């Protein structure tokens, strides 16, 4: 049998992986093969997988055939007290060759069970007037399939709706019209609607977008459609009495409809918490781009659910509902799709990036893994998309943030402080540096230090005062942990301004400006540069994307690059060697999950 000394060399195990192996071996009396399995399950979780496929991993280790045959290994696991076929006291769960940490198995089972419940709910009978209301909400619906109208129709008809699509395809517009339709159907009652997003930045952007689009609704439809958007953590409530969240199965949310934007960022355990807190009668509407980066934590829930969304396969009942209520023809989307497929609509037409848009073509090339087209786009003499060397960063940043730098240099007026802060935060969004990594010469930490130093040398930013150490007027910061006392959450971005009362950091929290003393902020970092992961749910006029020089870095993937590029509204500046760009497009994120199969 294999020894600890042998198997530790087989993979790149972390200290926490080895600690779990020690626990299984020493506390539970398991042997070395069990320790290896535990370390693999732990490492898989650290890489975002829900489980480790033991057969696949074993096949990639040809030297193990003699020392640890797969059949013998699986038999040992099945006979061990450390492993169970379902959640219980054992730390590991083995199911069809998939080895889970028990907590991840329980989360996957719970999410699958709750989704099956939603899928099994009978369709809502819509009143005869619904077809007319849909035409009022979509007066310019095209002759061909209008997918926004289709999404609104199916979501009103079913308890679970998933609306996916790339940037600018109208997910927000669709959901506003959907909520207006649902409130119209519910009259004379009024539905309790809650809107949420995974991060503070995504919540603030959605809230701002909804506030503007509510004015576009036809007369008589805007009543009861909320514009306040909160983070998922705020929606579920901070933990009490040992529970992770205040809202759960025994204390569900007070809501009839729950809408979650940027759902690609939701990890498996957060989805479990959300579904656990969802009232049995409530509708759940998930919005997101299936091609974006998955969550930082384990799981890729939206990606798994939308795995086949690109090719709709609607059954006869779904086609009948679409045809009857929209008056359009959807027969080209007929197919033998499963139950989940009847609840998903993919929006296809981008209103932000036209068919000939450079950024739109760039995003499409990345999604398709077309490195040649991407290289051609970067070589064209078009300022919309540029590939440059690293020294181009500072000149571009100073130009892109000129308005921001002017605003932070001016003292905040005593009257109109909130308006000044809003304008300053908007100016900050004109240019954002996005990094693939945190460490290294081209990571977030190093670039933020370099940017601050360069701007201070050029006297475009003041030096930090002795009394405030790292704080100075003009310092943008991102929260790195939730702070329930200040009511600012992980991912919220604020800017430091000089007020008549001294330095203050101001955040836009759901449309309300929150002014905070710098000394009260315990967990924040400078945000001239942020990771691409942290940028999800945000939009910037110019996205300056900085990739590391190491083309073999595992973080460089098609999904990472697509997410970064689609943060830009007007311009993409790529700082990377061409070989790194090519390699990034050709590598995909693959996360082990059985959620889709369990539905």
Question: Helix/strand/coil (H, E, C) string of 117-150?
Answer: HHHHCCCCCCCCCHHHHHHHHCCCCCCCCCHHHH
Answer whether residue 142 shows pLDDT above 70: no
**Is there a contact between 435 and 535 (Cβ–Cβ < 8 Å)?**
no
Q: What is the pLDDT of residues 218-241, one digit of tens each?
A: 887 877 888 888 889 889 987 554
> Which candidate, 519, 479, 477, 524, places its Cα nearest to that of 496?
477
Q: What is the pLDDT of residues 7-21, one digit of tens each?
A: 877 778 889 999 998
d(CA 337, CA 422): 46
What does the pLDDT read at residue 141?
Answer: 64
Average pLDDT over residues 471-491: 86
Q: Confidence band (pLDDT; 50, 70, 90) for 482?
A: confident
Answer whether residue 349 shows pLDDT above 60: yes
What does the pLDDT read at residue 160?
Answer: 95
380: exposed, middle or buried (Cβ count in 10 Å: 0-12, 13-18, 19+):
exposed
Residues 6+ apart with CB under 8 A from 181: 130, 133, 134, 137, 152, 156, 221
Residue burial 469-488, b: 16+ Cβ < 10 Å; e: rest: eebbbbbbbbbeebbeebbb
> Which candidate, 215, 172, 177, places its Cα nearest to that of 197?
172
Residue burial 496-513, b: 16+ Cβ < 10 Å; e: rest: bbbbeeebbbbbbbbeeb
Answer whether residue 381 shows pLDDT above 80: no
d(CA 3, CA 5): 5
**Across 139-143, 160-164, 373-377, 581-585, which has the greatest mean pLDDT?**
160-164
H or E segment and range at residue 174: helix 171-186
DSSP 8-state secondary structure symbol assigned to residue 298: S
DSSP 8-state secondary structure symbol assigned to residue 415: S
d(CA 169, CA 148): 9
Q: Confidence band (pLDDT; 50, 70, 90) for 139?
A: confident
Token pair for 40: 């693999």
């Amino acid at each position: 049998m294999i020894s600890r000394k042998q198997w530790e060399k087989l993979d790149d195990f972390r200290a926490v992986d080895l600690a779990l192996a020690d626990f299984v071996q020493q506390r539970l009396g398991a042997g070395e093969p069990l320790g290896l399995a535990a370390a693999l399950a732990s490492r898989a979780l650290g890489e975002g997988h829900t489980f480790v496929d033991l057969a696949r991993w074993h096949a990639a280790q040809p030297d193990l055939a003699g020392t640890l045959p797969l059949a013998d290994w699986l038999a040992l696991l099945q006979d061990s007290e450390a492993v169970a076929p379902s959640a219980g006291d054992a730390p590991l769960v083995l199911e069809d060759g998939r080895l889970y940490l028990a907590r991840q198995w329980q989360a996957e089972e719970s999410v699958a069970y709750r989704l099956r419940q939603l899928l099994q709910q009978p369709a809502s009978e819509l009143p005869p007037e619904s077809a007319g209301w849909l035409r009022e909400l979509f007066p310019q619906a095209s002759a061909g399939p209008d997918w926004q109208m289709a999404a609104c129709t199916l979501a009103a008809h079913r308890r679970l709706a998933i609306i996916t699509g790339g940037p600018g395809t109208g997910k927000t517009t669709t959901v506003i019209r959907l909520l207006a339709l649902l409130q119209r159907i519910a009259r004379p009652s009024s539905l309790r609607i809650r809107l949420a997003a995974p991060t503070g930045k995504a919540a603030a952007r959605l809230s701002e977008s909804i506030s503007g689009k509510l004015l576009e609704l036809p007369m008589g439809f805007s009543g009861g459609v909320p514009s306040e958007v909160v983070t998922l953590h705020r929606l579920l409530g901070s933990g009490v009495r040992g529970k992770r969240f205040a809202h759960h199965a025994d204390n569900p949310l007070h809501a009839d409809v729950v809408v979650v934007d940027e759902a690609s960022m939701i990890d498996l355990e957060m989805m479990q918490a959300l579904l656990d807190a969802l009232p049995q009668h409530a509708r759940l509407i998930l919005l997101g781009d299936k091609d974006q980066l998955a969550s930082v934590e384990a799981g890729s829930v939206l990606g798994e659910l939308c795995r086949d969304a690109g090719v709709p396969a609607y059954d006869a009942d779904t086609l009948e509902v679409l045809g009857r209520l929209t008056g359009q023809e959807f027969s080209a989307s007929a197919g033998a799709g499963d139950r989940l497929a009847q609840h998903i609509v993919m929006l296809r037409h981008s209103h932000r990036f036209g068919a000939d848009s450079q950024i739109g073509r760039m995003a499409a090339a990345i999604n398709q893994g077309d490195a040649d087209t991407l290289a051609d786009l970067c070589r064209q003499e078009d300022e919309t998309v540029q590939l440059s060397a690293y020294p181009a960063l500072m000149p571009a940043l100073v130009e892109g943030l000129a308005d921001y730098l002017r605003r932070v240099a001016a003292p905040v007026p005593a009257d109109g402080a909130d308006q000044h802060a809003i304008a300053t935060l908007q100016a900050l969004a004109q240019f954002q540096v996005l990094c693939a990594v945190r460490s290294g010469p081209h990571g977030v930490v190093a670039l933020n230090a370099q940017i601050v130093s360069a701007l201070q040398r050029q006297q475009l930013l003041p030096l930090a005062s002795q009394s405030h150490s790292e704080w100075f007027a003009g310092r943008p910061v991102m929260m790195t942990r939730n702070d329930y006392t200040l009511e600012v959450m992980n991912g919220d971005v604020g800017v430091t301004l000089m007020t008549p009362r001294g330095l203050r950091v101001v955040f836009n929290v759901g449309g309300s400006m929150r002014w905070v003393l710098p000394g009260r902020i315990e967990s924040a970092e400078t945000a001239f540069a942020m990771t691409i992961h942290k940028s999800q749910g945000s939009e910037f006029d110019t996205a300056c994307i900085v990739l590391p020089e190491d083309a073999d870095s595992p973080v460089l993937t098609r999904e990472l690059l697509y997410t970064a590029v689609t943060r830009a509204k007007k311009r993409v500046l790529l700082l990377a060697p061409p070989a790194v760009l090519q390699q990034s497009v050709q590598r995909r994120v693959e996360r082990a999950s059985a959620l889709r199969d369990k539905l």
